[in-house]
Amino acid sequence: MLATQYKITLPSNYDMNIIKERVKNNGYKTDGFDDLTFKLYLITEKGIHSNLQNSYCPLYLWNGSDGLNKFLFSGFFDNIIQSFGWQRVNVGIPLIDTTSSKFTEYKYLFQLTRDIQPQESLNHFKDTVQAEVPTIDHTEYIIIYNPDQWKYDIYYFLNDVSCIKDMNGTLYSILHISQGDLSS
């Protein structure tokens, strides 16, 4: 499995209703997309939930590289390039996934980023990370790591934002969730 995300920072006076309408009118186009586990259409809005900027930051989880390659190189990503310019696509690898089919019921995604410190062995890294994951009641989460940057992100699916008020991270609103082919 692979995870990808591009983070498009928008001007502070950008009308975020443009993005909301874009997702409303086009989000369905990735429903059933080849090799896609899910795509979360995510935004932050300046001044809402302590966010400092407007952004559009879709997060994808792929079953393999074929769907990602199709998305990037068969014209689908061209819509992003044409609308927002050249974007860097961050790639990660899922490490721990506690999500169930209920993840589609959540309204928010909360992201915490942590460094992977240099160490003599990564043999028990997964166990260490799982033991250190901050507990947030009534949530599901997925952890994605990037060995190029030696960082990992914990993405919590939630509906009640009050449970993270003392945590320092990024809170996204989920506008739409596309899922891959569920029949296979």
Distance CA 27, CA 91 (A): 21
Q: Is residue 28 one of the residues assigned to a domain? A: yes
| Tokens linked to 16 | 């975020």
Q: In this structure, what CATH number is given to the domain that contains residue 169?
A: 3.30.70.100
Write the secondary structure of 83-134 as one string of H (helix), E (strand) and C (coil): HHCCCCCEEEEEEEECCCHHHHHCCEEEEEEEECCCCCCCCCHHHHHHHHCC
pLDDT band at 149 (very low <50, low <70, confident <90, very high): very high
Domain of 67 in residue numbering reads as 2-179
Q: Is residue 48 one of the residues assigned to a domain? A: yes
Which helix or strand (DSSP H or E) is residue 55 part of? strand 54-56
pLDDT tens, residue by residue, 13-71? 999 999 999 999 999 999 999 999 999 999 999 999 989 999 999 999 999 999 999 99
Q: Is residue 184 one of the residues assigned to a domain? A: no
Number of domains in the chain: 1
* 88-109 mean pLDDT: 93
pLDDT band at 184 (very low <50, low <70, confident <90, very high): very low
What pLDDT, on a 0 to 100 scale, did the predictor assign at position 165?
83
